[in-house]
Copies of this chain bind each other. A is one copy, B any other.
Amino acid sequence: MTEVVIGVDLGGTVVRAGAVDQGANLLAVSQAPIEAHLGAQAGLARIIAVIEKTLRKCGNGHLLGIGFGATGPVDRQLGAIQNPYTLPGWENVPVVAPLSEHFGVPVRLENDADVAALGEYWAGAGKDVRRLYAITLGTGIGTALIYDGQIYRGLDGSHPDGGHQIIDPTGPACYCGANGCWESLAAGPAIARQAREILLAFPSSRVLDLAHGDPNRIDAQMVALAAREGDALGRAVIEKAAWYFSLGLVNIITLFVPEMIVLSGGVMKSVGLFMPAVEAAVNAHNIMVPASQVRILPAQLGDQAGMIGAAYTIYQNG
């Protein structure tokens, strides 16, 4: 019977469970909407159902353990999710104890950015890279450092949150408490907001068409699509976001000088729009640290990185 680990990837909208063998192969996947507003009890039942479905799909392999990557903050010591921000109502929701009891196996809980980075380290773009920094640019900006194959943690095992580094103190207020943090300037919602703010100056912009004439429906994907088509508003907004993104990335390099940075996330599907700004910034900040030697690559595992990396937390720790 095949030995498998279940890797769970819990996001703000969907939970997915993958069965992963020790060769990092994803043998089966199931998913379901999490509908966080229905409450944590209902959510947990749904998570269990998704795991069971995955196990059935791969012929009920011998389950070694469950690795769980959740949209943070998570409390690893309590084994609980503490995330009322993107999982409304999910404050102090234990997952390790109930899953461990239900399935009779060890369960490890980690931040989603950490497990995605670990997946890239184990089986993706960053195999065996000594200092691997991962940046996920989507609705927010997630960051993680894998150092000598281990998740870098802060005090009490906390997860550093590079997406909220301050880049421009004259920038917009963020829920994190800062003005002009990286996420507030370069992530998806910032791109959409900036497009809405300058819409009047570009009355014939393609972005408004894509949003069916409703400014409130504008999202980052529309702005990026318009930019690729040469739309002036789209290009102006993406250029500015890419510039801010490059400043935060240069700071990561200045502070960590990792061998490699892997980029992922929804907005990074438009990586081609961001890379010219990133390359220019890296070359302009090459004096104090060897910035241009840092390899900056798209992540390889796409949206499977979280499940694969979550599974790796079990293989890695026996």
Contact = CB atoms under 8 A, between A and B. Distances in A.
A200 interface: no
Interface stretch (A16-24, A173-181, A306-314): A173-181
Interface string A135-165: 0000000010001000001111011111011
A250 interface: yes
A318 interface: no
Interface string A251-277: 110111111000000000000000000
Nearest to A143: B255
Interface residues of A, number: 43
A166 interface: yes
A206 interface: no
Given A169-B247, A288-B73, A156 B254 contact: no
A257 B155 contact: yes
Nearest to A73: B288
Interface stretch (A228-236, A279-287, A296-304): A279-287
B288 A161 contact: yes
24 contacts: A131-B155, A153-B257, A154-B256, A155-B257, A155-B258, A155-B294, A158-B290, A160-B257, A160-B289, A161-B254, A161-B289, A162-B254, A164-B254, A164-B285, A165-B165, A165-B255, A166-B167, A166-B247, A168-B168, A176-B285, A176-B287, A177-B284, A177-B285, A177-B287
Interface of A: 73, 131, 143, 147, 153-156, 158-162, 164-170, 175-178, 247, 250-252, 254-259, 284-290, 293-294
